[in-house]
Structure 1
Amino acid sequence: MANLASTYSNQGRWKEAEELEMLVMETRKRSIWAEHPSTLTSMNNLTFTLKFQGHNDEAIVLIKKCFQL
């Protein structure tokens, strides 16, 4: 799922990438833990997808949370 989300991002298909990245992040939080590097990577990826869609406030909140973790 993460690879497909990355492909969508590379194609500029931001909404589809966002949906998958959100799912990847939530799945990783449940299956491993929130502080795991893979989970943090998925949070970072989602942050940039949000930014590219103009959702700057959401992106800032998420990247701050990622940094704290």
Structure 2
Amino acid sequence: APADLALAMSHVNSEPRGALGFATPARAFRAMLGEDAAALLDAYGVWDVPLGDLDLTPGLIERARAERGDAPLA
């Protein structure tokens, strides 16, 4: 589902990376391409997840689906 993909992309792209000077991929993308990058991320529903809220575990999608009342993935 699009919401699941946006959630996963948001979490993965909000983790700081040493190779990017400890910036997040999303922030580095915005820094390089400005408003075009921001518009693209917005179109895909990708947002910055605060570091303390990052969840890179396999259960991220299932917990989010349960909170939304969606059926589990098969």
TM > 0.5: no
TM, length-normalised to structure 2: 0.31
TM, length-normalised to structure 1: 0.33
